[in-house]
Amino acid sequence: MKIDNKIKWGIVGLGNIAHQFATDLLLIEDASLAAVASRNFDKANDFAAEYNCPKAYDSYEAIFADKDVEIIYIATPHDSHADLSIKALENGKHVLCEKPLALSFEDAVRMIEASKKYNKFFMEAFWTRFLPAFQEIFAKVKNGEIGELTYLNADFTFCADLSGLNRLTDVKRGGGALFDIGVYPIFISYIMLGMPKEIIAKAKYHDTGVDVQTSIVLQYENAQAVLHTDLVSSPSMKANICGTKGRAELNAPWFMSDGYSIIKDDREEKFILPNLGKGYSHEAIECHKCIRNNQIESQLWSHQNSLDLSEIVNKIKKQIGLPF
């Protein structure tokens, strides 16, 4: 790879995930962090210095206008994903947008339409899909290694700070378990089993109106998925995929797994597939591949995949009565 052929990234919103992503970006030979943008200039300067980035902006508009930046990573709270992604696309940038894509299905549709209209690559940052262990277990399950899928269970929980108003407790910012981490168990059920025929969900709520605990059953023609997400339990982070001839289990925490087991006839076979860095590198590498191939979407996590996930999440949102 020629040094001058690097893909030039910009990051918008310099919080927790932006740091993790920037750390992994440094591990990719053909990636360069060209600019970062914060609402606060000192924060942008400090971030840029930490990751050896030449440009720091104190407004998101400024990075969208920077001709050097090819792809923007949107790392802001959920409620701003749609508008910021569309603005970046309008400005001729490719976009990798953090999950969840949007707070409504209609906004998710607007984002995909903008990618098509401006002919720029657009992907929801569903990093789990690109991890080596996940890709391998997915291929094996789809090839019938554990027979016909009949049952899947997955969870994502942690004890969050629910005091005060923050992005997890604030209804206006799409807070709560479902949109922040509940999308992961729904993702694995969707990618393994497809669109469910029926959805049953039940939630418990925080004083602010966001869900702190949501359990979901997805009913398929020949299978059921039992999923759970919450902001009040110590993590178990397990995912089990069960079929008529055996079962597959991703190492916990399953959504950032470095391996998996296949259990058949009381015999367990273990497979280890380490991630590059924490694992965010793999989604960035997929962006590079697509951009270099002039694709506006990934085949591994397509526009339709994101729309389907958004449709399921928004049906659950309506069923449990989230007020956004």
Interface residues toward ligand NAP, by CB under 6 A = 13-17, 38-40, 43, 75-78, 80, 98-99, 125, 127, 167, 180
Complex with ligand NAP: residue 96 or 242, whichever CB lies closer:
96
Nearest approach in angstroms of CB 73 to ligand NAP is: 10
**Residue nearest to ligand NAP according to CB distances in the complex:** 15
What are the φ/ψ torsions at residue 60 (nearest 5 degrees)? -70, -35
CA 199 to each of CA 152, 260, 307: distance values in angstroms, whole numbers, following the listed order: 14, 28, 17
Nearest approach in angstroms of CB 131 to ligand NAP is: 11
Complex with ligand NAP: residue 247 or 288, whichever CB lies closer:
288
Say how many C-beta atoms besides its own lie within 10 A of residue 246's C-beta: 18
Complex with ligand NAP: residue 80 or 213, whichever CB lies closer:
80
Nearest approach in angstroms of CB 74 to ligand NAP is: 8
d(CA 87, CA 66): 13
DSSP state of 231: S
Nearest approach in angstroms of CB 162 to ligand NAP is: 15
Complex with ligand NAP: residue 1 or 164, whichever CB lies closer:
164
Complex with ligand NAP: residue 161 or 265, whichever CB lies closer:
161
d(CA 193, CA 223): 8
Complex with ligand NAP: residue 84 or 149, whichever CB lies closer:
84
Residues 6+ apart with CB under 8 A from 195: 308, 311, 312
Concatenate the DSSP letters of all residues of 145-182 into one string. TT-SEEEEEEEEE-B---SSS-TTT-GGGT-SHIIIII
Nearest approach in angstroms of CB 75 to ligand NAP is: 5
Nearest approach in angstroms of CB 269 to ligand NAP is: 28
Handedness of CA 43, 12, 32, 57 (dihedral sign): negative
